[in-house]
Chain A
Amino acid sequence: DGGITQSPKYLFRKEGQNVTLSCEQNLNHDAMYWYRQDPGQGLRLIYYSQIVNDFQKGDIAEGYSVSREKKESFPLTVTSAQKNPTAFYLCASSRTGTGGYNEQFFGPGTRLTVL
C-alpha cells in the first residue's frame, strides 16, 4: 500500500540533544512538508521541499534543519537550539504540477517529548 511512514511514533530525548525524525513516502510525490502541532495552536509549517536537494523555511524554522537527498525521504532534525521542542510532528507529501490542486497526504505523526 502507498503511504507515508513516520518513525518512531513516540520519542523521548534529554534536553540539549539533537534528534532526527524520519519521514518516508512511497507515493512518488515530489513535495514534502513538516508541520508542528501544539494543543490549541493548529498546525504550523516548519520546512517544505518541492524537489530533491531543495527546501524552503516555513513559519517556524528556527531550531530545526532538514535534508532532501532522496525523493522518498525528508528527515527533520530538532536541534538543541529549539527552545521548546516537545510537540507532535506531522509529515505530509503531495504531487506538484498542473491539473488542479495537489492535496497533501499526512503521515501518522511522531510525538517528541524532551525531558
Chain B
Amino acid sequence: AQSVTQLGSHVSVSEGALVLLRCNYSSSVPPYLFWYVQYPNQGLQLLLKYTSAATLVKGINGFEAEFKKSETSFHLTKPSAHMSDAAEYFCAVSEGRNTPLVFGKGTRLSVIA
C-alpha cells in the first residue's frame, strides 16, 4: 500500500533562509508525487508535481522538489523564505493516473522576521 511520511510536523526558518521540507513515500509502482500548500481555513493549492518526467520539478512561488528513487524521497526546497510562505504543506502520492491521493500528515512552516 502506498504511504507518505513527512518528517517534522513544524519547521521554523528565518526570513531569507533555506526552506527544506522532507517527504518520503512508499509505493509498489512508480509513483506520481505532489506538494500542496494550504493557508489557514482555505483549500489546498498545488505547488508542484512529479509525473515521471524530469526528476527536478519546479513549481510556483520559487519552490522546487527532487524525486530520488533510491531514497524514496521527494523533498521540497526554496532557496530564500518569505513571510508569505508561512502555511501548511502536504506531500501526496498516487499509484495510478485516476487513483485518489494519499496524503502525509503535513508540515507547518513558520517564517521568522
Q: What chain B residues lie within 8 Å of A4 (beta carbons)? A: 43
Chain B, residues 87-111, CB within 8 Å of chain A (1/0): the string is 0001010100110111111100000
Q: Which residue of B lies closest to A38 (CB)?
A: B105
Contact partners of A65 in chain B: CB under 8 A: none
Which residues 55-113 of B sit at the A interface, judged by CB distance below 8 A?
A: 90, 92, 94, 97-98, 100-106
Spell out A's residues near B (CB within 8 Å). 4, 9, 31, 33, 35, 40-45, 48, 50, 58, 88, 90, 92, 94, 96-98, 100-109, 111
Name the contact of A106 in the complex, choosing from B9, B32, B43, B104 (C-beta under 8 A).
B43
With CB as the reference atom, state the residue of chain A lying closest to B106: A42
- Give the most central of B9, B100, B102: most A CB within 10 Å: B100
| Residues of chain B at interface, number, CB under 8 A | 24
Docked complex Cα distance between A111 and B36 (Å): 19
Indicate whether A98 sits within 8 Å of B100 (C-beta atoms), given known contacts A90-B44, A109-B41: no
Query: Which of A42, A48, A90, A108 counts the most chain B CB atoms within 10 A?
Result: A42
How many Å lie between the Cα of A70 and that of B90 in the bound state? 30
Q: How far is the CB of A42 from chain B (nearest CB, A)?
A: 4
Cα A88 to Cα B44 in complex, Å, equals 12
CA distance A16 to B32 in the complex (A): 40
